[in-house]
Amino acid sequence: MTLRLSLPAQPTLLKRSWSLGANTCHAPLVMRSDLQAHLRRSQQELGFRYWRAHGTLSDDVSVFTRYPDGQTYYTFSGLKRILDAVLASGLKPFLELSFMPVDLSRDPSQTITHYRGPTAPPADFRRWEELISETARFLLATYGADELRTWYFEIWNEPNIPFWTGTQDEYFQLYRHAARALKAVHPALRVGGPATARGEWIADFLDDCARHQAPVDFVSTHVYPSDVAFVDSAEGEVKLLGLDFLHRHFARVHREVQERRPGLPIIWGEWNSSAGPLAENHDTCENAAVISSALAGIERWADGSLFWNLSDIYEECQYHFAPFHGGYGLLTVDDIPKSAFRAFEFFHQMETHSLSIDGQPGSAERGAFGSASADQKRLVVLFWNTVTLGPWTLTPQAPAGYRATRLERILPGQGSAYEAWLELGRPMNLSRAQHAALAAASVPAVDTTWQGGKLSLAPGTVALAIWEKIE
């Protein structure tokens, strides 16, 4: 198959949606030095710009506390420690405002995950609005308006599944109170939602905002191409619904937003190759191909990607410290990059402007994504082929006057350390030599002698090719 690369007459500037950032599970984990190292690495090596996590208002951050004397206090030193660590890493907060402090909750017995995040609506929505107002005033006084206007403020997480035990109308009420409180503190604060699972509630959410004149500066939502509704039964093999499933959801949400609020930014605030927190497909080489296809779709249909999850330092389903255990992370608990990390690294090498590619297959399971430098002196193209299809032989055809200079690949044992770990016998406790071997196996294969021509992609692999203009 021949893929013809061509420079559009007026190349468009890429949104670079893949660089928005990633999640780190539970906000208090950011106080761990090893997770802070992962935050810094994501900023330095992947160009990530934002961080998101659950539980910024939960009792383990101690923002709202009732003391034995019956008095209640707002105490923000815990939240400040978390945010300061994020900012010190070079990232900015995509600040998810959740979960409900126990003393404000309608039913404190309703919780979720290993760290027991409270999921019930507030007993009094006025107290919830006061909490958001006090939080925003503290942030404004601490970080200043110029800094805060660069953040995102998101209301709750996945209110359409058990992260919220209220109704849809009660979530919309929660959103309205919070959004108005934020704007009252400073009108430049960016607020959005509904942060739903499966790309749901988007039309209803925007219609409700319009009906009640509630502010909304962006839409955020989540999707995973699997049939796992939530954490239960999410271990081991996970049935995947295919990348076309993902791309259809990207397009549908884009359409629903455009019909109601044209141009409103869309952020895919959580996604991965499956929703199972202990699923092997997160660790394998093939995940890089899935991630690559998804990122190309997000760039087309949305404005930002927040990958779930940056790190296997993670506690929703209790801690797991095995070197590879199916965790969501781009980095293992031992700081070994997975194939998905390398996929983001490949996208980080992309240039700034669009590049046309003619002759692509019709399925999202295999394809290409290309870019050109502003001066058109460098072309970068990424190719992927998932395991659902056989080997793919293609011939990328660059415009006249360009020569191929470099080819990088994500292969089992070269850009994907999981397969090397299997060959080592699945050691649960790594020696220094084993850790070094896995770190070496996580580095993509590089060929600086590649001169173009036919390129063969085995199932579940990714390649990045570079052409430079002949002077």
Q: Which of 319, 249, 337 is nearest to 277 (CA)?
A: 319
**Residue 245 confidence (pLDDT):** 87
Residue numbers of the domain that contains 123? 17-348
Residues (pLDDT < 70) of the chain are 227-240
Residues 5-58 pLDDT 10s: 999 988 899 999 999 999 999 999 999 999 999 999 999 999 999 999 999 999
Find residue 155's DSSP bridge partners: 97
Half-sphere exposure of 430 (CA within 13 A, CB side): 21
Pairing of strands 415-416, 366-372: unpaired
Residues 283-324 pLDDT 10s: 999 999 999 999 999 999 999 999 999 999 999 888 899 999
* Domain final position from 348, 378, 408: 348
- Rounded to whole angstroms, the Cα distance separating 420 from 412 reads 8
Instruction: Specify whether 331 is located in the same domain as 410.
Output: no
**Residue 226 confidence (pLDDT):** 76
Instruction: Specify whether 288 is located in the same domain as 393.
Output: no
**Residue 161 belongs to a domain with what CATH number?**
3.20.20.80
Supply 276's token pair. Answer: 């199972």
Instruction: Specify whether 136 is located in the same domain as 224.
Output: yes
- 21 touches 386 (CB < 8 A): no
**Residue 451 belongs to a domain with what CATH number?**
2.60.40.1500
Q: Which of 131, 258, 252, 121 is nearest to 198 (CA)?
A: 252
**Residue 234 confidence (pLDDT):** 43
Query: Pick the catalytic residue: 96, 129, 154, 158?
Result: 158
Distance, C-alpha 370 to centroid of its chain: 21
Instruction: Specify whether 359 is located in the same domain as 292.
Output: no
**Residue 238 confidence (pLDDT):** 54
For residues 27, 33, 37 and 42, what is the CA-based torsion angle, rounded to 10 degrees?
0
Per-position DSSP letters for 235-298, written without gaps between them:
EE---B--HHHHHHHHHHHHHHHHHHSTT--EEEEEE-S-S-TEEGGGTSTTHHHHHHHHHHHH
Q: Which of 306, 307, 299 is nearest to 370 (CA)?
A: 299
Residues 345-357 pLDDT 10s: 999 999 999 999 9
Q: Is residue 286 annotated as a catalytic residue, yes or no?
A: no
Instruction: Specify whether 155 is located in the same domain as 301.
Output: yes
Q: How far apart, in Å, do the first and last CA atoms of the chain sit?
A: 29
**What's the total number of domains in the chain?**
2
Burial class (CB in 10 A: 0-12, 13-18, 19+), 230: middle
Please give the biggest Cα pair distance in the chain.
79
- Rounded to whole angstroms, the Cα distance separating 214 from 155 reads 13
* Domain final position from 306, 326, 348: 348
Query: Pick the catalytic residue: 200, 270, 345, 419?
Result: 270
Instruction: Specify whether 320 is located in the same domain as 359.
Output: no
| Amino acid identity for residue 394 in this structure | L
Instruction: Specify whether 302 is located in the same domain as 404.
Output: no
**Residue 231 confidence (pLDDT):** 40
Residue 78 phi/psi, 5-degree rounding, is -65, -45
Instruction: Specify whether 158 is located in the same domain as 213.
Output: yes
Q: Which of 200, 131, 192 is nearest to 159 (CA)?
A: 200
Q: Is residue 408 annotated as a catalytic residue, yes or no?
A: no
**Residue 240 confidence (pLDDT):** 67
**Residue 257 confidence (pLDDT):** 98
Residues 234-263 pLDDT 10s: 444 556 677 888 999 999 999 999 999 999
Instruction: Specify whether 363 is located in the same domain as 326.
Output: no
Instruction: Specify whether 303 is located in the same domain as 361.
Output: no
- Rounded to whole angstroms, the Cα distance separating 228 from 235 reads 10
Instruction: Specify whether 105 is located in the same domain as 177.
Output: yes
* Domain final position from 284, 319, 348: 348
Percent pLDDT > 70 in the chain is 97
Helices (H), 261-413: 287-301, 339-348
Instruction: Specify whether 148 is located in the same domain as 231.
Output: yes
